[in-house]
Amino acid sequence: MNRKVIGKIVAGLTLITAAAWTTVSCSKKSNIASIELFSTKGENVATLQKLADKFTAEKNGSIKITIISPQDASTVLRSRLTKNDIPDMMAIGGDSTYTELASAGVLENLSNEPFIADIQENYLQMLYDVNKDTSKTAYAVPYAANGSGVLYNKTLFRKAGISIPKTWDDFTADFDKLQKAGIKPVELTFMDAWTCLPPWNSMAPVLQPKNFTDDRRAGKTTFAATHREILEKYLVILGKASGDYMGTSYNDGNKNFAEGKAAMMINGNWAIPEFTKVNPDIDVDMFAFPSTNNPAENTVTSGIDVAFAVSAASPNKKAAEEFLAFLVKPENAQFYVDEQFAFPTVKGAAQNNKTVNGVKDDIAAGKVSNFPDHYYPSGFDLASILSQFALNYKNGMDNETNITQTLAACDKQYDAVNVQ
């Protein structure tokens, strides 16, 4: 056989081989499920990526996960909803964003998935409570929670000779004891309006009527009729605060607290890593905000920080549910809790950091109340209303006028955005 004939045969075999590999390659590509995971929390993207990489490796690359978290993510997600462009999976908060997506019918009902049994019941109930019809339907899987209360410097408490207050009267008395010891009682950071929310979020669940959320949504009650005591107690805190709290930013306040310039800060566990960046040795802990004089009624404010939802229209729905089942495994949930300094919703995972010892038992036992602003409609800007309330006090407005105007502003704005 001459070289020309051999060359033609070899060339032919090369073409066949190339075609065969192309077919195999296309076949492999067609078998890869590609999942877009949209996170509204930019801080958790690196952690989610590590979990996604581990999952992809376990699946030998058969499922690819792309994680995105744009600026102003909740607004972007709502915009995509109007365009019927829903990501395969979403990591969202247990708030009005979840309510909107669930009520729009774009989320898969996960209630019958086996991994739902691995979620703590109190956090599932929080999810049910923000369903528009409050049905016991899980359109997402609660995955991580946060906690809010009173962060305190244990060293300064010992210096002032005080212990953790269990009642409202003890709490306010401790302000006076700290001041007498030459210690600033509380660091408020109201230059950033959102930090006006934690005192309200701690008191409102305990002090408002039990059915307030449903009754207010239905127009059967008002803030003016139910929330006066909350603002009266808020004014007590403002009256015992010192310094330029309207001109202090969250970052500056965190630095002040970390340096021991104040004994308490009313905020959440998310602030603790900011303290330890400045002062790794700070002896900090948290206790439940003592809203009343009955310790049994006082709760830690804890809500769903991250819940995973799946698009009902996703072509890769089954793959997304496989990833969810992977995430809910205790060892993976624990990894997220440790990296994100979160409280677990998954049974078998635990928050073991000593800086939240004061509240972790209450949270684990379900002695918690959800963040009340998770139930408010989108567009209800309570932070701005409370910021004005604090500024009014700082500027000398009499308390009665300030309370009346603030509650009226709450009702007016709520009614404007409460679209059924």
DSSP 259-283: TTS-SEEEEEGGGHHHHHHH-TT--
Output the CATH code of domain 34-146+303-360.
3.40.190.10
Exposed (0-12), middle (13-18) or buried (19+): which is 329, by Cβ within 10 Å?
middle
**Candidate CATH numbers 3.40.190.10, 3.40.50.720, 3.40.50.620, 1.10.1040.50; the one for domain 147-301+373-418:** 3.40.190.10
Integer Cα distance of 370 and 94 in angstroms:
9
- Neighbour count for residue 318 (Cβ, 10 Å): 11
Least confident residue range of 27-31, 138-142, 274-278: 27-31
Mean pLDDT of 173-199: 97
- DSSP states of 28-68: HHHT-EEEEEEES-GGGHHHHHHHHHHHHHHTTTSEEEEEE
* Stretch (H or E) spanning 142: strand 141-153
Backbone angles phi, psi at 328, to 5 degrees: -80, -10
pLDDT at 9: 39
Give the model's confidence band at 6: pLDDT under 50 very low, under 70 low, under 90 confident, else very high: very low
Q: Write down the pTM of the prediction.
A: 0.85
- β-bridge pairing 89-92 and 33-39: parallel
Integer Cα distance of 392 and 397 in angstroms:
5
pLDDT at 30: 55
Integer Cα distance of 108 and 124 in angstroms:
16
Q: Specify the DSSP class assigned to residue 375.
A: S
Give the model's confidence band at 10: pLDDT under 50 very low, under 70 low, under 90 confident, else very high: very low
Q: Which pLDDT tens digit goes with each residue over 260-274?
A: 999 999 999 999 999
Mean pLDDT of 154-170: 97
Of 24 and 349, the one with more pLDDT: 349
Give the model's confidence band at 360: pLDDT under 50 very low, under 70 low, under 90 confident, else very high: confident
**Residue spans in the chain of domains classed CATH 3.40.190.10:** 34-146+303-360, 147-301+373-418
Segments in 89-167 forming alpha helices (H): 96-103, 121-129, 154-160
- Measure CA 289 to chain center: 18
Give the model's confidence band at 189: pLDDT under 50 very low, under 70 low, under 90 confident, else very high: very high
Cβ(216)–Cβ(223) below 8 Å: yes
